[in-house]
Amino acid sequence: MLNSELGLKDIVENPKSIFYLLNEEEKEELQHHISLSHYKKNEFIFKEGDKPNGFLLLVDGKVKIFKEGVGGREQIIRMTKPLGLIGYRALLGEETHNGSAVTLEESLICTVSPDFIFNRALKNSDFSHKIIRKLCKELGFSNARTVTLTQKHIRGRLAESLILLKDKYGFEHDGTTLRAFLSREDIANLSNMTTSNAIRTLSTFASEKVIAIDGRKIRILDVNRLERISKLG
């Protein structure tokens, strides 16, 4: 459920937020360059080819970023969790978005004006260094995923996707249920396979007692075995 009480203070004073790196004067000025927007589930934040209208940060909710391939088939290239940045590469590179961003659940998005980012925030060395590190990590992640999605077999790809969801969103209070309830189509698009193959492989994992399935809820019963499947590819 979306936390509607979140506001600017929660964004800038959270040590995990990139805006926490700004000094007090910059944080004060930020208030004049920021806006918060609510999005419903499955709502587009931006579409491939759009021009960036600001520096975007996910305050609450979950977002997928994908590209359309042949025949309109989606390939999910990144998932974002709260306090994660969305579409900032296009803004900093002065390009149009090369993918689309859609909410996976009700979400709250913070938008900061490009003027503040370029003329104030990026002049803060801590802020700019953090951005560079994030870009480098995402490039490394993309390179690794390219190998995974082109060289691993179906079982390895799906296992890695489940581990990715675990690492990104964690578990519910029971310690086994993934805190991300994706459709079978989204799981397939994350794993570069057809929906029917995703359904069949999930069922196989369930029969092997690696996971348990209850609708969109997936419980990981044997993390070590799932990691071995992913590693072996």
Residue in 25, 28, 14 with CA at minimum distance from that of residue 57:
14
Q: Which residues in 17-43 are b (16+ Cβ under 10 Å) and which e? A: bbbbbbeeebbeebeebbebeebeeee
CA-to-CA distance for 178 and 168, rounded, in angstroms? 10
Residue 27 has pLDDT above 70, yes or no: yes
The whole-angstrom separation of Cα 43 and Cα 101 is: 9
Does the pLDDT value for residue 2 go beyond 60? no
Start-to-end CA distance of the chain, whole Å, equals 36
Look up the pTM and report it.
0.88
Q: What's the CATH number of domain 8-149, 2.60.120.10, 3.90.190.20, 1.20.58.710, 2.40.50.100?
A: 2.60.120.10
Q: Which long-range contacts (CB under 8 A, 24 or more apart) does 81-86 make?
A: 81/168, 81/169, 82/58, 83/11, 83/14, 83/16, 83/17, 83/18, 83/57, 83/58, 83/59, 84/57, 84/58, 85/18, 85/55, 85/56, 85/57, 85/58, 85/134, 86/45, 86/56, 86/57, 86/58
Percent over 70 (pLDDT), the chain = 97
**Confidence at residue 73, expressed as pLDDT on a 0 to 100 scale:** 82
87, pLDDT greater than 80: yes
Give pLDDT tens digits for 50-72.
999 999 999 999 999 999 887 77
Q: What mean pLDDT value characterizes the chain? A: 93
- Domain 152-232 fold is Arc Repressor Mutant, subunit A (1.10.10)
Distance, in Å, from the CA atom of 224 to the CA atom of 209, rounded to the nearest integer, reads 12
Q: Which residue has the tokens 């249920």?
A: 177
- Using one digit for the tens of pLDDT, what is the confidence trace for 132-165? 999 999 999 888 888 888 889 999 999 999 999 9
pLDDT at residue number 7: 64
pLDDT at 38 over 80: yes
- pLDDT tens-digit series, residues 189-229: 999 999 999 999 999 999 999 999 999 999 999 999 999 99
- Range of 5-14, 69-78, 193-202 with top mean pLDDT: 193-202
**How far, in Å, CA of 191 to CA of 164, rounded?**
10
Q: Where are the domains of the chain?
A: 8-149, 152-232
Judged against a pLDDT cut of 80, whether residue 92 lies above it is answered with: yes
